[in-house]
Amino acid sequence: MSAAFRAPKGTFDLLPPESELWLHVREVMAAPLRRAGYGYVETPVFEETALFERGVGESTDVVTKEMYSFVTRGDDHVTLRPEGTAGVVRATVQHRLHAGQLPVKLWYAGSFFRYERPQAGRYRHFSQVGAEALGVDDPALDAEIVSLAVHAYADLGLRQVQLMLNSLGDAVCRPVYREQLQAFLRALDLDEETRRRVEINPLRVLDDKRPEVQAQVSGAPVVGEFLCDACRDHYDAVRRHLGDLGVQWVEAPRLVRGLDYYTRTTFEFTHDGLGAQSAVGGGGRYDGLSEDVGGPPMPGVGWALGVDRTVLAMRAEGVRWAAASRCDVFAVPLGDEAKSRLLVLVDDLRRQGVAADLAFGDRGLKGAMKAADRSGARLALVVGDRDLEAGAAQLKDLVTGDQVQVPLDAIVTTIKERLT
């Protein structure tokens, strides 16, 4: 007999009732976005590999080390999406959403894939909720989208999430900073691969998490010292708007993100309860990404919040969460005729908005009642041959233990009254 299949390394299965928590987190994260006018978008799980190479950046670890890329039978070069923004921008350009009302406000939720070294909070298959606002360069929009993430974390009951904030400048001032940073990094004792990265994209070196690299770059110049007047004014306005919204943040002058498309406003949400992998979400402005993927000039700002890491943060804080019951009424038939009658009755209850289930498998009364208790239902509906002859059913409250006989033609009405 062959060995049973298992989930691939670095992935995991979400199973009930635990999976209900993941659904809850996604729904709570999406709720502020819906209220702010963001519409749901769903893009393919795989895209052309070139989209991520050009959009995310060929020098990033995501592109050079972590993408799941393959060639199809039709000789198409495709990649499982490692992040969401590039695909959303591609969809916006392809369907000319930017020709309508601006900003284009979109949100998404789904699975993403990176070939990582598996550890707590870092998987090869992970879940995110993301938001993107495209077509408008307005510091107030930056502040809005940051505040929506703050609301989401607060609504989940988290109190220890910290917002780290920085500005990375733009195409005018960042080249000046790049030259100064490269001059500093060239003087360090770095390995050959990191030296190559200094020449391609020196900001990636600042994002290197290895302690031996971090120790050497601690004295590197910071981008904030080189911001042009326009970028400084933009960043000042973002911070002013965040202050007006009551959002607190920590200045993080060395914060860079692991993707090349970020410009100006850059931010990360961290939680101390997660150890070394402290980031639970992040984002920023990406004003040149549309042109990078073949679209027109179109500014944008957005974020992605990690569902997996947010769940870990909730556990670290001891946030209590009770899953809603998946069943209100559990029907117990005793006999074939009773099963036929209750199958129709359960269907009727579901059509009227009542969560209901049925004991399948012709189990006896004792086993069926154990199943009713395990279902989490509030009420058990028991019908046997004698009940059918009497035109009635036994309705038992599984919380109090009280049991009453109810006419079959009044069952639905009685159950709905009991559940309100």
- Is 410 domain-assigned? yes
| Whether 146 and 263 share a structural domain | yes
Lowest mean pLDDT among 2-16, 26-40, 93-107, 140-154: 2-16
Q: Where are the alpha helices (DSSP H) in 77-138?
A: 85-94
Q: What is the pTM of this model?
A: 0.88
Lowest mean pLDDT among 42-46, 295-299, 373-377: 373-377
Would you say residue 325 has pLDDT above 80? no
265-293: average pLDDT: 91
| Whether 355 and 264 share a structural domain | no
Under the banding of pLDDT at 50, 70 and 90, the label for residue 1 is low
Would you say residue 258 has pLDDT above 70? no
CA distances from 96 to 14, 20, 102, 155, 285 (A): 36, 36, 12, 34, 20
Tokens (6 digits) for 388: 């059918």
Between 219 and 330, the more confident residue is 330
347 residue type, one letter: D
Lowest mean pLDDT among 16-25, 43-52, 202-211, 245-254: 202-211
161-166: average pLDDT: 96
Q: What's phi and psi for 312, nearest 5 deg?
A: -60, -40
| Whether 121 and 167 share a structural domain | yes
- Burial, 196: exposed, middle or buried (Cβ in 10 Å; 0-12, 13-18, 19+)? exposed
The kind and range of the H/E element at 279 are: strand 279-285
pLDDT at 90: 96
Question: Mean pLDDT across the chain, nearest whole number?
Answer: 91
The per-residue pLDDT for range 168-226, each reduced to its tens digit, is 999 899 889 889 989 999 988 888 888 888 888 888 788 777 888 888 888 888 888 99
pLDDT at 273: 85
Would you say residue 58 has pLDDT above 80? no
- Is 10 domain-assigned? no
Tokens (6 digits) for 401: 């233990």
| Whether 284 and 367 share a structural domain | no
Would you say residue 43 has pLDDT above 90? yes
- Is 47 domain-assigned? yes
| Whether 273 and 386 share a structural domain | no
Residue 268 is classified by DSSP as E
Burial letters 275-301, b for 16+ CB under 10 A, else e? eebbbbbbbbbbbbbbebbebeebbbb
Give the residue from 284, 317, 350 where a domain finishes.
317
Would you say residue 357 has pLDDT above 80? yes
CA distances from 330 to 341, 389, 397, 415 (A): 14, 21, 11, 11
134-163: average pLDDT: 97
CA distances from 29 to 35, 86, 316 (A): 11, 21, 19
Give the residue from 317, 346, 372 where a domain finishes.
317
Owner of token pair 């009930």: 16
Domain that holds residue 275: 19-173+227-317
pLDDT at 202: 85
- Is 37 domain-assigned? yes
- Is 186 domain-assigned? no
Give the residue from 294, 317, 340 where a domain finishes.
317
Give me the number of domains the chain comprises.
2
Would you say residue 397 has pLDDT above 90? yes
Lowest mean pLDDT among 17-31, 253-267, 277-291, 348-362: 253-267
- Is 185 domain-assigned? no
- Is 147 domain-assigned? yes
Tally of CA atoms within 13 A in the half-sphere of 273 that contains its CB: 17
| Whether 31 and 119 share a structural domain | yes
| Whether 262 and 406 share a structural domain | no
Under the banding of pLDDT at 50, 70 and 90, the label for residue 363 is confident
CA 259 to chain centre: 18
User: pLDDT exceeding 70 applies to what percent of the chain?
Assistant: 99
| Whether 40 and 65 share a structural domain | yes
Would you say residue 18 has pLDDT above 70? yes
pLDDT at 107: 98
pLDDT at 166: 96
Would you say residue 76 has pLDDT above 90? yes
pLDDT at 69: 94
417 residue type, one letter: E
| Whether 154 and 44 share a structural domain | yes
Beta pairing, strands 263-271 & 161-167: antiparallel
Under the banding of pLDDT at 50, 70 and 90, the label for residue 64 is confident
Contacts of 292 (CB under 8 A, 6+ apart): 54, 55, 261
Domain of 335, CATH number, reads 3.40.50.800
Lowest mean pLDDT among 84-93, 261-270, 322-331, 363-372: 322-331
| Whether 373 and 294 share a structural domain | no
| Whether 123 and 258 share a structural domain | yes
Q: What's phi and psi for 189, nearest 5 deg?
A: -90, 85
- Is 199 domain-assigned? no
CB 68 within 8 A of CB 3: no
Q: How far apart are CA 301 and CA 205, in angstroms?
A: 24
Under the banding of pLDDT at 50, 70 and 90, the label for residue 145 is very high
Neighbour order of strands in the sheet with 356-358: 356-358, 329-334, 379-384, 392-397, 403-407
Domain of 118, CATH number, reads 3.30.930.10
| Whether 47 and 106 share a structural domain | yes
pLDDT at 59: 64
